[in-house]
Amino acid sequence: MTSAAIDNPEQGDNEKRKLIGIVIFNNFETLDVFGPVQMWGRLSGHRVVFISPDGRPAHSAQGAVIEASYSFEDAPQSDVLMIPGGMGTRKLVNDPATLAFVRMQHQHTSWTTSVCTGAAILARAGVLDGRRATTNKVAFDWVASQSAKVQWLGRARWVVDGKLITSSGVSAGTDMALSLVTNLYGRGAAEEVAAVAEYVWNDDPYNDPFAIKPNITAEADITL
């Protein structure tokens, strides 16, 4: 039995739902996108759309292809914006159109999020200035080099600072996505979404098995 927060896919008015806009690009990391999609895809008050720079399909690093719902030019305002990681971010951190789109959307989002090296794009766009954030620990030094104005945390599964949520690498995005469900719909809804997916949720942002720097000493450090 599902709660009011989880939608029957045969019911509901998509046009009335707020948008969760996921930016896609060639060489994105597959699980960075599909982990959160699994957790967000049936929320009663939101619907997931995919946004690529030019509106064309995007190919993941593992060969999956996603059709874009919108381009940067015609994308409506998202309530939640998510930037995934992957090798494609290495190019996009220097792409003016991508950075401008992120800045524009971020002005009016309720939540702006990233998975893995997607945080590098947020950093280069300037939206993480003065904030705490984390990223993939394997690529930590490269991401951190994108902005010295960010307090990069090497021990965190995900970090909440204001309306910004950044997660560690790949699978951490699924845990982050469930934490966002908690913020939007409550803890019970997040637990239900995880149970439907038969997913064991790491719901502790301090529980970071891949931590590289033990710099988390208080809850306020990562959940502001």
pLDDT of residue 121 exceeding 60: yes
- At 4 the pLDDT is 66
Instruction: For residues 176-189, give the mean pLDDT.
Output: 98
Gap between the Cα atoms of 193 and 196, Å rounded:
5
Instruction: Indicate the pLDDT class of residue 115, thresholds 50, 70 and 90.
Output: very high
The identity of residue 27, as a single letter, is N
Active-site residue, selected from the candidate residues 6, 43, 116, 194? 116
Q: Give the bridge partners for 20, in sequence order.
A: 48, 80
Whether 104 contacts 51, CB under 8 Å: no
DSSP codes of every residue in 146-157: T-TTSEE-SS-S
- At 28 the pLDDT is 98
Instruction: Indicate the pLDDT class of residue 168, thresholds 50, 70 and 90.
Output: very high
- At 102 the pLDDT is 98
Instruction: Indicate the pLDDT class of residue 6, thresholds 50, 70 and 90.
Output: confident
Q: What is the mean pLDDT of the chain?
A: 92
- At 66 the pLDDT is 98
Q: Which residues are within 8 A (CB) of 147 and not within 5 positions of it... i.e. 6 or more apart?
A: 123, 124, 126, 128, 129
Instruction: Indicate the pLDDT class of residue 214, thresholds 50, 70 and 90.
Output: low
Whether 222 contacts 156, CB under 8 Å: yes
CA neighbor of 58 nearest in space, from 68, 46, 48: 68
Q: Give the bridge partners for 188, in sequence order.
A: none
Instruction: For residues 6-30, give the mean pLDDT.
Output: 83
Structure tokens at 70: 């919108």
- State the residue for tokens 């904030």: 131
CA neighbor of 59 nearest in space, from 86, 21, 82: 86
Q: Which contiguous run of DSSP H or E holds residue 166?
A: strand 164-167
Annotation marks residue 116 as catalytic: yes
Q: Quote the radius of gyration of the chain (alpha carbons, Å).
A: 16
- CB-neighbour burial class of residue 190 (10 A; exposed 0-12, middle 13-18, buried 19+): buried
Gap between the Cα atoms of 39 and 5, Å rounded:
12
Gap between the Cα atoms of 21 and 138, Å rounded:
26
